[in-house]
Structure 1
Amino acid sequence: MHNRSAEIMEELKLVVSSKTLDALLPPLIFVVVNGAAGLTTAVIISVAAALLLSLVRALRRQPLKYAFGGLAGVLVASGFALFAGRAENYFLPRILSSAAMLAVSLVSLIAGKPLAALASHLSRGWNLDWYWRADVKPAYREVTWLWAALFLMRLVIQINLYFSADLARMAWANLLLGTPVTLTVLVISYLYGLRRLHQLGGPGAHEFAHGVQPPWEGQTRGF
């Protein structure tokens, strides 16, 4: 149990340390400043905060992709808010993102190429043919359904809060539905996926890559 917990923490460490602050701080600043000083000031300060985070990462020679991604997200969100003159439009890109991810998940399932498998392939570089095996693919298909359920839940909540125009609730909802829920789903996906691969009885990704013949040990780490 200890080994599995350490393994999960190692898998999640990069996700948490790389983008949590970049994704969470500017929106919270926007909401607080908007309530105190208005939309234009909130946009300026939230963009400045995102830019400052990017500069800090650059000075520390840390990976910049999450910081610049966060900066781009803040710029787009600010553009939506300023263009319409409505502070709640700051969160419109997140609604569109949830809708897009739900659509991508469903399309991938219909096409028989589950999003979870494609995401794993891109992040781990395992042989793509391994994912489409009959004794591997069902695990990734089922996890993709879990992701689709998450995106649908997030989208419904975000739309309801958007039309309520309650910025504080929108900010907290996006905060909670962002990193905390995402990490929870990733942990569940990881544990369920490994268990399901074991049940399916197929080879592990490395066994497949090296042409190992059965009986297989199966996937023991990584999903």
Structure 2
Amino acid sequence: MGKVKQRTGLGALASAGSDDDFSVIDAIGGPRGVIESMLPGVVFVVLFVATSNLNLTIGVSAVLAVVQVIVRLIQRQSVMGALSGLLAVGICLIWAWHTHQARDYYMFGFITNAVYAVLLGVSLLVRIPALGAIIEFFRQLPTEHFKAWLDGWMGDKELKKAYTTITWLWLGLFLLRLAVQVPLYVTNRVGLLGVTRLLMGIPFWALAIWVSYLVVATPMHRHNTRVRAGSDVSDDAADDDGAGE
């Protein structure tokens, strides 16, 4: 049998109730994924602070992002993560090049953080925690019987409470990023903004995933146990009905 592909990000939390070997490093893409995610940002801020040459900084950062994808292609490894990273970096670089402002390299990040914060906030208002919906989507695609899928985890008070808690956690993460970084953008402190973005990027992401795992693992395990027990009872009842015919 082939090796099961390791899920990353929130998808890694989908197995929190059954996976005793949960790894934060694997969940954020492994050492290589961390390096590839952080390297373009590191190069951008260091090169710009050192040279104050925006065009050179954009050029080098763009070449680096493309090289990362090419290397993965040569090594015949999955390029989806690298391609998504290339797209995000490309948007940031084009934005900075278009406005001739190095600080605008970070504008796309502000927008995505604000959008995520709004979506999470709305989900809490309607009492359907977004993190729960995302994790349960990874656990079981609601291709049919959507209401039964939704009621299955929403009806578990302990699990829903855990999902609500981590939704608040991630909402706080996005809002904190904006609260700290936007003033640095407004005052055009590019170097400090770049360093802050790096520190509040992968490290905060890893911390949020780890805390989320601690919060949801036990409720999810109990939920899985109850679901399996219910399935066993249903199977036994069906066997009894079949035997009586």
State the TM bucket, normalised to the shorter chain: 0.7 to 0.9
Q: Which residue of 2 aligns with 1:211?
A: 231
Which residue, 77, 84, 93 being the options, matches 2:99? 84
Q: Which residue of 2 aligns with 1:119?
A: 134
Give the greater-gyration-radius structure (CA). 2
Which residue, 148, 152, 164 being the options, matches 2:187? 164
Instruction: Tell me how far 1:115 sits from its aligned partner.
Output: 1.4
Cα distance change, pair 205–5 in 1 and its aligned pair in 2 (3 A): closer
Cα distance in 2 between the residues matched to 1:61 and 1:210:
44
Counterparts of residues 29-108 of structure 1 (less than 5 Å):
29-35=43-49, 36=51, 38-108=53-123
Cα distance in 1 between the residues matched to 2:207 and 2:128:
24
Instruction: Tell me how far 1:103 sits from its aligned partner.
Output: 0.7
Cα distance in 2 between the residues matched to 1:125 and 1:185:
23
Cα distance in 2 between the residues matched to 1:150 and 1:205:
31
Question: 2:122 is matched by which residue type in structure 1?
Answer: V
Cα distance in 1 between the residues matched to 2:139 and 2:202:
21
Q: Which residue of 2 aligns with 1:190?
A: 213
Cα distance change, pair 21–132 in 1 and its aligned pair in 2 (3 A): same
TM-score (norm 1): 0.82
Cα distance in 2 between the residues matched to 1:110 and 1:209:
33
Question: 2:53 is matched by which residue type in structure 1?
Answer: G
Unmatched segments (≥5 aa) in structure 1? 214-223
TM-score (norm 2): 0.75
Cα distance in 1 between the residues matched to 2:28 and 2:69:
17
Cα distance in 2 between the residues matched to 1:173 and 1:49:
21
Instruction: Tell me how far 1:59 sits from its aligned partner.
Output: 1.3
Instruction: Tell me how far 1:58 sits from its aligned partner.
Output: 1.2
Cα distance change, pair 111–212 in 1 and its aligned pair in 2 (3 A): farther
Q: Is the 8 A contact 1:22 1:66 kept in 2?
A: no
Question: 1:21 is matched by which residue type in structure 2?
Answer: I
Cα distance in 2 between the residues matched to 1:124 and 1:150:
24
Cα distance change, pair 133–178 in 1 and its aligned pair in 2 (3 A): same
Instruction: Tell me how far 1:47 sits from its aligned partner.
Output: 0.7
Kindly provide the CA deviation profile for residues 158-178 of structure 1, in whole angstroms up to 9, marking residues without a partner as x. Answer: 111111212221111111111
Q: Is the 8 A contact 2:34 2:202 kept in 1?
A: yes
Kindly provide the CA deviation profile for residues 144-187 of structure 1, in whole angstroms up to 9, marking residues without a partner as x. Answer: 01111111111111111111212221111111111111111111
Cα distance change, pair 133–29 in 1 and its aligned pair in 2 (3 A): same
Unmatched segments (≥5 aa) in structure 2? 1-17, 143-148, 234-245
The secondary structure found in structure 2 opposite 1:203 is helix
For the aligned residue pairs, the C-alpha RMSD in angstroms reads 2.6
Aligned residues between the structures: 207
Larger relative contact order, structure 1 or 2 (CA cutoff 8 Å, min sep 6): 2
User: Does 2:35 align with 1:13?
Assistant: no
Q: Runs of 4+ in structure 1 displaced over 6 angstroms?
A: none
Q: Which residue of 1 aligns with 2:164?
A: 141
The secondary structure found in structure 1 opposite 2:21 is helix
Identity score, percent: 24
